[in-house]
Amino acid sequence: MHPPIIIGGGVAGLTAAVKLAQRGLRPLVLEANPEWVGGRLRQTAPTEFSHNGRTWQFSQEHAVHGIWDGYVNFKALLAELGIQPNYVPAQDETWILGDGRRVGRAHIGRTIRHSLIPAPLHYMQLMFKPSFVRLLNVHDWASLPRVAGGLFAAMSIDPLAEQNPLHGLNLADMTSGWSPHLRALFAGLARNALAAEPSQIPAAGWIAFLRFYTLLRRAAWGFDYLPAGGGTAVCEPLAAKIRDLGGQIELGAEVQMILQGAEGGWQVQYTQNGRSHIAPAGQLVLAIDAPSAQNLLLASPDTAEQAAMLTFPQGIPTVIVRLWFTATASGVSEAGMFSGDFCFDNYFWLDQLQDEYRAWREATGGGVLEVHIYGTPHLLEQPDSMLIKQVVQDVTRAFPDLRGSWVQAIVQRNPATHTLFSVGGRGVHLGIRTPWPHLYACGDWVYHENPALYLERAVTTGLAAANALLGEANLAPHPILPHPAPERFAGWLVGRWTAVRLRKLARKKG
């Protein structure tokens, strides 16, 4: 029997590989990136520059990641393997609202997660916060009942459990009629969450995000940072474990086509260092991003016909800009979200999160800022120099203490592989078990009834794909931990609102 092949060495593929290797199956991971495993959690090329006669080198990553309270399988996987990053707990997040010269700020993260009011009413605690209240005007107050109605509607639908894509409905539709500030707040939150413009964000993806990350539990909005880049802290140690357990990882191995073998297995055609290879596999795990999965399945004659009937989430590009300063900003938390007329969507003070960047602050008294730009095509198309100019201008508008202290910037353009999370209809959204024998799928876009998104979804589906494959070989499955249940009141409301909605639907159909 040929060993299983995992196509893609992101978090989902590495999870599946380590779980198979733990059962003695010696998987082969084929990863297209020539240098690093980890996919969207990988390292990227380090940056080096001189400042005041000293040469500085910083390792880089795809983007800073938050490890949220509900990431039970992600954390359990690392703990079980003895990979124990010293997580850095998030303190607070500042919402910064830009409107020309007027810039408003409110610290909202801690208030939401430590609210005294039970979910889903916990956001009401913000009304006792003068900085938040000052950002609202009379139109905002008038539109609060509509906002509450929208949130309650989100409680009555569980798009993942129901496999309900809410066809044709996007976030812009859900927030139409809301006041401009509240729309801006939610647009900012949605861009941070799903990395796209409200009109691009499918309502089902938005509701799934709200339910998992904030609506049903106060603590769900709590999270940690990794103490170093995700590649260093998570993916490289995970890859080392796979190798220790007898698995193999080939970098720079880009799979071009998969073919069903005569004896029920698969043949995987890939290129590496400009040469073509064919590897036989007993079973395959497809662990690549959604656009690459769609391309591969359509390019492979044995899968093309059925793949053409599936829907795949859109892949979106992101841009990350890192800026070094000789000053720091006062009165803001270590991270936060922008909305209004800023050209970026969120920020992270790396010198408060990662040791390597702390050294810069200790030596220069300055900070290092990472900002993310999501879903604004005209901005993403600008050359680096223009983008940096605009980002620096907006950064000094948001943080006036930084004026005249900018030293260095790098722009990192991430390919359009990031999942714009959506839920496909029954039978058209690829799940763990695919329409093809001995071929399983995992990744942050793959259908599974669990409510998690992103890294936790990558790990959960990686575990589920490994278990499905182990089942074929009559080997014991690995446990998949349940995700935290809603708070009592939220749980009761979810049941009630769902019942009301279903009764309404039944009446309509009747």
In 34-92 the beta strands, taken as DSSP E runs, fall at 43-51, 54-61, 66-68, 88-89
d(CA 70, CA 60) in angstroms, rounded, equals 26
Please give the residues from 439 up to 468 whose contact with ligand FAD meets the rule CB under 6 A: 443-444, 454-455, 458
Question: Quick one: 250 or 401, whose CB is closer to ligand FAD?
Answer: 250
Q: What is the separation of C-alpha 144 from the centre of its chain, rounded to a whole number of angstroms?
A: 29
Question: Quick one: 61 or 140, whose CB is closer to ligand FAD?
Answer: 61
For ligand FAD, which stretch binds (CB under 6 A), given 17-25, 60-68, 148-156, 400-408?
60-68
Is position 12 an interface residue for ligand FAD (rule: CB under 6 A)?
yes
Q: What is the token pair recorded at 169?
A: 């409905």
Is position 353 an interface residue for ligand FAD (rule: CB under 6 A)?
no
Is position 372 an interface residue for ligand FAD (rule: CB under 6 A)?
yes
DSSP 8-class letter at 351: G
Is position 297 an interface residue for ligand FAD (rule: CB under 6 A)?
no
CB of 412 to ligand FAD, least distance (A): 9
Is position 189 an interface residue for ligand FAD (rule: CB under 6 A)?
no
**Continuous segment of H or E residues that includes residue 407:** strand 406-419
Question: Quick one: 39 or 340, whose CB is closer to ligand FAD?
Answer: 39
d(CA 183, CA 280) in angstroms, rounded, equals 52
CB 480 within 8 A of CB 467: yes
CB of 252 to ligand FAD, least distance (A): 9
Per-residue contact string for residues 276-295; x = within reach of ligand FAD by CB under 6 A: -----------xxx--x---
Binding residues for ligand FAD, rule CB under 6 A, total 35
Q: Which of 6, 7, 97, 184 binds ligand FAD (CB under 6 A)?
A: 7
Question: Quick one: 41 or 155, whose CB is closer to ligand FAD?
Answer: 41
Q: 315 — phi, psi (to 5°)?
A: -100, 135
Is position 10 an interface residue for ligand FAD (rule: CB under 6 A)?
yes
DSSP letters for 95-162: EEEEETTEEEEEE-HHHHHT-SSPTTSGGGGGGG-HHHHHT--HHHHHHHHHHHHHHHHHHT--HHHH
Residue with tokens 């605009």: 390
Is position 224 an interface residue for ligand FAD (rule: CB under 6 A)?
no
CB 148 within 8 A of CB 177: no
Alpha helices (runs of H) in 342-431, residue ranges in sequence order: 355-364, 377-380, 384-398
For ligand FAD, which stretch binds (CB under 6 A), given 38-46, 146-154, 166-174, 200-208?
38-46
Q: Report in angstroms the alpha-carbon separations of 172 from 147, 186, 190, 211, 470.
A: 13, 10, 10, 18, 43
Q: Which of 3, 4, 22, 40 binds ligand FAD (CB under 6 A)?
A: 40
Edge-to-edge order in the sheet of strand 248-251: 248-251, 28-31, 5-7, 284-286, 439-441
Is position 213 an interface residue for ligand FAD (rule: CB under 6 A)?
no
For ligand FAD, which stretch binds (CB under 6 A), given 58-66, 306-314, 363-371, 485-493?
58-66
For ligand FAD, which stretch binds (CB under 6 A), given 29-37, 357-365, 480-488, 500-508?
29-37
Question: Quick one: 33 or 156, whose CB is closer to ligand FAD?
Answer: 33
Is position 8 an interface residue for ligand FAD (rule: CB under 6 A)?
yes
Is position 229 an interface residue for ligand FAD (rule: CB under 6 A)?
no
Is position 32 an interface residue for ligand FAD (rule: CB under 6 A)?
yes
Is position 424 an interface residue for ligand FAD (rule: CB under 6 A)?
no
Burial 402-425 (b: 16+ CB within 10 A, else e): beebbbbbbbbebeebbbbbbbbe
107-112 long-range CB contacts below 8 Å, 24 or more apart? 107/131, 107/333, 108/132, 109/221, 109/333, 109/336, 112/214, 112/218, 112/221
CB of 371 to ligand FAD, least distance (A): 11
DSSP 8-class letter at 199: G
Is position 417 an interface residue for ligand FAD (rule: CB under 6 A)?
yes
**Continuous segment of H or E residues that includes residue 224:** strand 223-225
CB of 380 to ligand FAD, least distance (A): 12
User: What does the chain come to in residues?
Assistant: 510
**Dmax of the chain from CA atoms?**
78
Is position 65 an interface residue for ligand FAD (rule: CB under 6 A)?
yes
Q: Which of 5, 19, 28, 33 binds ligand FAD (CB under 6 A)?
A: 33
Interface with ligand FAD (CB under 6 A): 7-13, 30-33, 39-41, 62-63, 65-66, 254-255, 287-289, 292, 296, 318, 372, 414, 417-418, 443-444, 454-455, 458
